Chains A and B, each alone.
Chain A
């Protein structure tokens, strides 16, 4: 049984999210027409602030579908996935999945992938800071020791494995007048996002590198992670991959497996 206060908050929360003013007449001292106008101020605040948060997080999706379509999409999302926390940095994480299911978005199969890319960017941006290992360490250690070691990934590192050209589409929208007619949107793209300091790096990757990093993430010894990768992708260019990883700050620690 709700207390009177709990009852009024339940009714108001329902009224704000569902655009119905049912039950509010007994709580507030206004006639119907005035109540409508006054509750609309709060309702606008809720939807305006939350759709702004979604738009800040997914600016390229907004550009791809246009303002009006985006706003309607954001409102559908908010109604189905209202935030659970006051920290807006955590809001909107289910948006890519929502987009992949949304009927109105079905004709743009790359949309959900670009949304996943933007979400990975957000997570990378707000992740824990950590000092990366330098390329120097790889050379100092020597191949044998390196292979027998376990590497720790940078806390900001995110893998994006897309069936469509999510990175190219995203990059094409970083200029004033995007033109992505040159991009074959149906090309699968893999990316690695990392923020070794305060600037976010976007690295072009392939399926083999993604597998290697995934194995490292699971805690595999480097030699084992490499074996797994070469078994599936025999022409994998290991030396370039390791140099890329170290020079872009993918790793923060290296230790022998028993440690």
Chain B
């Protein structure tokens, strides 16, 4: 790996932002792409990706590996990913703690799995195959959850700690997903962050969510990547940065009704600013002690 992701803000790459990204000085210092969008053989998508990969460090964030599938990872998909990783040499490759396919049917969503010993062994095995094929460790992202399982044997934080320990993978920690899942499945986000081995975090995601109501009138938060990051999520992000002691590479995700580059740049600037504030608070607190 020649280029690392910088400890500053990045955004998800959208072709409509290409000219702004290449021509303008901005708060954005790295980009993330979904490899699934570049699995065709050629044409404009590859031309665009080549242009941005020459100008920015790249994170390849998969949405289709289905690390949690009981019927294993798909070899053809893994080969396609390996080809892209080889061609574009991204600084980071990541995937989700989720499953998407069953019995040759790909459902195109990140579906949840129970936190059991069986799941842990299965994800570790699937992840091991991916890492062996790519000849590098990858990052795994915590999911946004809308359902609770009966019979969980671990908390999510314990599960992720174990997974990192067993496979050597790192964490892509999504703070919005933490906030959404804590609300939707009823756990305490601060407690989770105490349990989680945050040393495994190599990249952070931030995004907006929307709010719906359940039949009992409690709130269900939807991780729709369609609005600015909410204040509660910025607060959690700041306490994470405070505890990490440095700003992790931090991505702003905005995939539904993605705004123009100016607003993406503002959000990226906010991430840089909130992280800097958290770090100066840490220095102040330490020098006061």
Q: Count chain B residues whose beta carbon lies closer than 8 angstroms to a beta carbon of A.
A: 53
B148 near A28: Cβ-Cβ < 8 Å: yes
B residues in contact with A66, CB < 8 Å: none
In the complex with contacts A28-B148, A38-B146, A49-B109, A89-B39 CB distance below 8 A: yes
Asked if B41 and A10 sit within 8 Å, CB to CB, the answer is no
Given contacts A42-B111, A127-B41, contact A10 B103 (CB under 8 A): yes
B46 touches A129 (CB 8 A): yes
Interface string of B76-118 (1 = CB under 8 A from A): 1100100000000000000000011111111111010110101
| A85 partner residues in chain B, CB cutoff 8 A | 64, 74, 76-77, 106
**Residue in B108, B111, B119, B212 whose CB lies within 8 Å of A86:** B108
Chain B 35-54 per-residue mask, 1 if CB under 8 angstroms from chain A, else 0: 01101111111110000000
With A88-B36, A198-B43 as given contacts, are A9 and B109 in contact (CB-CB < 8 Å)?
no
Contact indicator A28/B149 (Cβ below 8 Å): yes
Enumerate A105-155 residues with CB–CB distance to B below 8 Å: 125-129, 155
Provide the bound-state CA to CA distance between A35 and B194, in Å: 30
By a CB distance below 8 angstroms, the chain A residues around B70 are: 2-3, 5-6, 9
Point out the residues of chain A lying under 8 angstroms from B146, CB to CB: 38-39, 41-42
Q: Closest CB-CB distance, B268 to chain A, in whole Å?
A: 26
Which parts of A36-73 form the interface with B (CB within 8 Å)?
36-39, 41-42, 45-46, 49-50, 53
A sample of 20 cross-chain residue pairs with beta-carbon separation below 8 angstroms, ordered by A number, consists of: A2-B70, A9-B71, A27-B150, A33-B215, A37-B215, A39-B147, A41-B222, A46-B108, A84-B104, A85-B77, A86-B36, A86-B62, A86-B101, A126-B43, A127-B41, A127-B43, A128-B41, A129-B41, A129-B42, A198-B44
Interface residues, chain A, with chain B CB atoms under 8 Å away? 2-6, 8-10, 12-13, 16-17, 26-30, 33-39, 41-42, 45-46, 49-50, 53, 82-90, 125-129, 155-156, 195, 198
